[in-house]
Amino acid sequence: MTDTTLESLFARSPTRELEEVQKVNEVGQAERDIDEFYETDSARKVLTELGEVVNSTGSQPRFRYVHATFGSGKTHLLKLIGIATGEIEGLETVAPKLSSQFSGFKEFRDRLNSSHIDHLVPLFMNLLDRDKVRDSTLSLLIYEELGNQLNYPTDPLWLLEWAWTLEIEHGLWEAVRSVEHDGMSIEEAAQDKAALRPWLYEALPEMDETDGTPYATKDGVRESIEQATGRISTEAFTPDELVERLDRTKRYLQESGETYEFLIGLDEVAIYVGDQQHRYREFLETVDTLIADINPPILGTGQWSLRDMQQDFMGEVDPEAWYTNEIPLRGADTEIIVRKRWLRKSDSGANTVHDLLERAPDFELELADASEYTDVGEPVEAYPFREHDLWLLREVMQSLKKEDLEVDREYVQGRALLILVRSLFTSFDWSQKEPGAVVAWDEIYDLIERETTDIPGWAKDQIQKVENTTDEMGVSVAKVLYLLGQVDAVPTTKENITRLLVSSVDTDIDQLESDVEEALKALMEDNFVRTDESVQPQTYRILSKEIVEFWDQIHREAAGLPQHQVRYNIEDLLREADRGRLTADDSLRTRNIDGISDAPYTFRYTVLDQVDSSPEPRFDGVVARVLAADPDTIEESRTRWQEANVGDQGVEDVLIVIELSEGLRESIRHLIALDKLLEPGASAELRIEQQQEEETVEDEIEELLYGAKLYTPDHNTTRGTYLSNIDSVLADAVREKFENRKTLDTRLQEVDDARTLFEFFNGNGTWPFSSDDAEMLGVKTVPREISDGWAEEFLNDYAGEELVSGETVLEEIAGRRGKYLGTPREALAALLITLAAANKIEIRRDGVRIEDPGEIGRVMRRLSDIRDIDIGFDPVDIEGSSNLKAVYQSLRGFAPQGNDPTAWLSNLASWAEKNSSGIRNICARVDLEFDEEITLDALRDVLEPGMAGGELDDAVLTESPVPTQAEWFHKAEPLFEGEEPLWDEFNSTLETMRSLYPDAAITYKMEDAVDGSRIPSKESLTKHQTEAQDFRTSQISELYHLLTGTAPEADSISELCSAVEQALLDQDIIVEIDTVTETIPGVNFESLRELDEIAESAADISESDIASGNAVSEASQLEEARGLLEDQPDGPLYNQLESRYEELNSEHSEAFITKQVKRALSGPDLVTPSRAEALVKQADAKLQSTDDDDDDDEDDDDQDDDGPSVDELWADVTEPGDGTIVVIDTEEGDR
């Protein structure tokens, strides 16, 4: 053992903090930058060509572009070039050091010294952060860098222009810099924007040097500032203006008698341009202008080829053009940079490592013949890695990146390696290991897994399976095999695996190889590893090709999933995490919560989207909104939600905030794709993958839900977490929102309790509820009468009414002005049953009084059934049971003739015998198709003697529940009679609607009609079938009308589909679509394209083809687009909107109308032509109002904005947002 650690071997601690990404104009660590520089062949080529460019004096463009991947050292090189010019203040003596150490810099300096240039001033800028420069032109950025080099202030921009003019025209800048006024210099005054102008107004006129200049008076200074402000513009500073300033500056500097040139350095051009063509055009125009007018030496850098960018953006490449002057900087040099920056040893440390490696076994790899590795020959420099390790690690990471990305360039570069290498010493504590330790590749796997997201989940799962099956050596071998499987350069032989698992210079490599061999055998037996015996030496591989290919499919499918599908799945996962509490979207539920019985509440969901600022009103329960999105969306939405729901007019009561990480969203996409692609006969291995993926996602969703923060409209701070506080927060909302709600202590059993209540009020049964329930309802259990409470209050509310609909009564618990809002259905049902049992009201359905207590209880089970009843407030006291005449009328469909009950029974018996088969069939179908509570068993039993040719018993026929079942038979008979029953035909139509139009309102109606909870009428089924047919034809007819502008002559579905097909064949719809999509961004016509492809093929267009996509809405979009692109006297409306937006965005970027026009242009939903005309007029009005206000004094800018402007108020009036309620007062009152 020794006290020496690996950390002590290095020149600088390998656990130090990472420096920020190199910035080309940050030279504060110049000495270290030089020490860490490694001059490659490609770097020398860059310096050689740059020296030639600087030394040239002809008309040829003096432009070069260095392209290399991120982290390859191009910024480092460009920074040192700036230092090598010798013109950076404070670093003049450093330039010779570069020349003495590196041959490329010596050649560059020699060329510069022999050139016509006395001073090569570097104007270098980093364009990496596009967000910071997005509002500036490239020309302005270069001008700002000129100001930096000449020590002019650049913020605010007008001060740069003012200082430049002051110096170029009057030579006064240094004098102004040296002046102090009111204890401040100009640099100090510039830090306080409010103090800057007063300082200039007062300080300059007091200077002797300003005598005879425009700056001698306050007004002169003011005018010079106004002129500078007018000449400089963030968004409109042109290349011509840049050239004029560079040329004048150069001529001014050369008045000293020495020659000046500006070396312009543009770092990270490709990232600055990105995918925006206008940025590339700006770059071309800027460089073209510079070359044409003053032709300075220009050196650009970027992550990919400028020639390729020209091809992608402009389509044509002139091989003689300046943008083809490219010099590649090879990315293969990047691991050397890591060695130089992070693994550099001290002199004593290098000696120690050299001695250690002298006694180490041979652990360097045997590479494939096709390997592109270049042996650096510095194992001491690479330690504690092997000579090949950093190169191989970069290759592995590159391959892992390609598993998730479509890449055509190297993305894994020096900085990525640097981060991993540092993490080895920090996260894995390698800084404290003893000298002699060597990094084994199973630990490199652990490093990549911990510090990156590059190892896919399925690979981690495979390694986890190995861990659960075999020993530690087996796991190590599996990890190495997985990493080696990503590259072809290293054969996966037993020997190479062994060498990569060497963990110390003292490792017994023979014993290690034996252990590896045993581990490989075990892994093959467990079906984790395959071997290829056809090649020698024998190689091994982990994971089957089938699984890899399958997961490739999963990734592709996941990337193409529509956003709405992801939203629905996240919503389902959230509900599954707490199904006992969370409801379907806006579906009311009652539950005992925190001491409140039957508390009514519902949940609404906003997933991966902004919340609605005008939520749908709801009066029957507390509304909780679940917001699941990224952090930025959540912050904005929370504020919007609270503003929309605070106060008496608020609709929603609780907000549940769930932050979804990008990783989780991707996992959910993969899970959806996995469920979609996994075939029923998939292997058990894939089934396990699916199960594990589901469990992982579900566990994370559950954890996020339980930890979600709660908010209410009137609290900016959280009300706790979902797991700990949701019930109490919901309960508080119920108490506050529903002060007059009624509830039962006893759970209502509608049918049984109805029968018991009727017996109770007839003097026989017992009171079925608690004493508190009796008091709330207003029932005195002795002497069994209603005297006060809710029942008496309810009767008083409807005093004088003869008949009230169930809908009206439900409004009392769920309507906007309901008296008993928040009252659960069970409590209202108990009230109505109690009043009916006490003969205070009667319950009617279809105009007929319901007399069976059980049926009264049954109609109280669902809100929809309560809506269908009427409540009479003047009930007649009649017998509670149905008589024989009513049963006869229900079964036969008409009243019996005469007054002889014996004859009625005889007729019924004859009817039953003659129709026994039909009766049995209808009874069986009712049992099959409806809930178990809806049965005709009692009716069938009582009719059985008649069906067998015997007599019927009138006493049994009139006993409950036979009268009710007779009514059911009457409703069911027309549904199931005939060879093709209406019920079967209806369900066939319903299946078609579910398949083609699952979200149509008529589909929901049809599903509700046959859900088994009640027997629908023949009329309702026939009506729904007709509505379904009309809906289907209307969809196809609408598509035809949108395509042709005329109504179709066809009537049937097939004829209409043929008409649509012919319309597509007759019109060149694709050309029109292409024209629209090229002009208007964001619009999509994929469904119409697919229909057109079918029409052009041999197949016929079917209704399914039309219904499966968005053809109707896309055709509507196409019709809107025609109007927007139609020629007008002032040009197409779309072009007019574009031109107005450019002006508005320049002058009123935050104005309401600017945002309206931007939305109209950005899609994907197009505005109508009339709406576009209105926007053009409003834009013109806004721009005209600006012109009228141009005479305002500059000081007006400082005035406080106490409220919205007139145009903003007018926009609010003329363009009310979704959900706005407009009140029109027609009363003539005081004004």
Strand partners, 186: none
pLDDT tens track for 1071-1090: 888 888 888 877 888 888 89
Instruction: Indicate if the pLDDT at residue 1150 is higher than 50.
Output: yes
pLDDT tens track for 1102-1136: 989 888 888 888 888 888 888 888 888 888 988 88
Instruction: Indicate if the pLDDT at residue 946 is higher than 80.
Output: yes
Residue 553 · residue 677 · CB < 8 Å = yes
Instruction: Indicate if the pLDDT at residue 832 is higher than 70.
Output: yes
Please give the sequence-ordered ranges of beta strands (E in DSSP) within 259-312, or none if there are none.
260-267, 298-302
Q: How confident is the model at residue 175 (pLDDT cuts 50, 70, 90)?
A: very high
Higher pLDDT, 650 or 737: 737
Q: Give the contacts of 154 (CB within 8 A, at least 6 positions apart).
A: 144, 147, 148, 160
Q: Is the dihedral of CA 128, 134, 137, 142 positive or negative?
A: negative
User: What average pLDDT does this structure show over 817-840?
Assistant: 92
Residue 347 · residue 7 · CB < 8 Å = no
Residue 1060 · residue 1036 · CB < 8 Å = yes
Instruction: Work out the angle at residue 830's Cα, subtended by the Cα atoms of residues 824 and 833, and round it to the nearest 5 degrees.
Output: 140
CA distance 1180 to 1170: 16
Which alpha helices (H) appear in 56-179, and where do they start and end? 74-84, 95-101, 103-113, 130-133, 138-149, 157-170, 173-178
What is the chain's Cα-based Rg?
42
User: The tokens of 632 are what?
Assistant: 């930025």
Residue 298 · residue 63 · CB < 8 Å = yes
CA distance 397 to 449: 11
CA distance 78 to 93: 18
CA distance 356 to 506: 9
Q: Indicate the range of 521-535, 810-824, 904-918 predicted with least confidence.
A: 521-535
Q: Indicate the range of 333-347, 407-421, 789-803 predicted with least confidence.
A: 407-421
Instruction: Indicate if the pLDDT at residue 894 is higher than 70.
Output: yes
Is 506 strand, coil or helix?
A: coil
pTM beyond cutoff 0.75? no
Instruction: Indicate if the pLDDT at residue 1203 is higher than 60.
Output: no
pLDDT tens track for 273-294: 888 888 899 999 999 999 999 9
User: The tokens of 1170 are what?
Assistant: 């009339």
Q: How confident is the model at residue 898 (pLDDT cuts 50, 70, 90)?
A: low
Higher pLDDT, 866 or 464: 866
CA distance 76 to 338: 13
pLDDT of the residue at 960: 84
How do beta strands 654-659 and 622-629 pair? parallel
Strand partners, 869: 845
* Torsion angle, alpha carbons of 353, 359, 362, 365, to 10: -10
pLDDT of the residue at 681: 76
Residue type, 536: Q
Higher pLDDT, 413 or 906: 906
Q: What is the mean pLDDT of the chain?
A: 85
pLDDT tens track for 137-166: 899 999 999 999 999 998 888 999 999 999
User: What average pLDDT does this structure show over 818-834?
Assistant: 93
Distance of CA 648 to the CA centre of its chain: 33
CA distance 397 to 849: 79
Instruction: Indicate if the pLDDT at residue 725 is higher than 90.
Output: yes
pLDDT tens track for 645-704: 887 766 899 999 999 998 899 989 989 998 888 887 777 767 776 787 888 899 999 999
Instruction: Indicate if the pLDDT at residue 952 is higher than 60.
Output: yes
Distance of CA 634 to the CA centre of its chain: 11
Q: How confident is the model at residue 1231 (pLDDT cuts 50, 70, 90)?
A: very low
Residue with token string 């927007």 = 1124
Instruction: Indicate if the pLDDT at residue 729 is higher than 80.
Output: yes
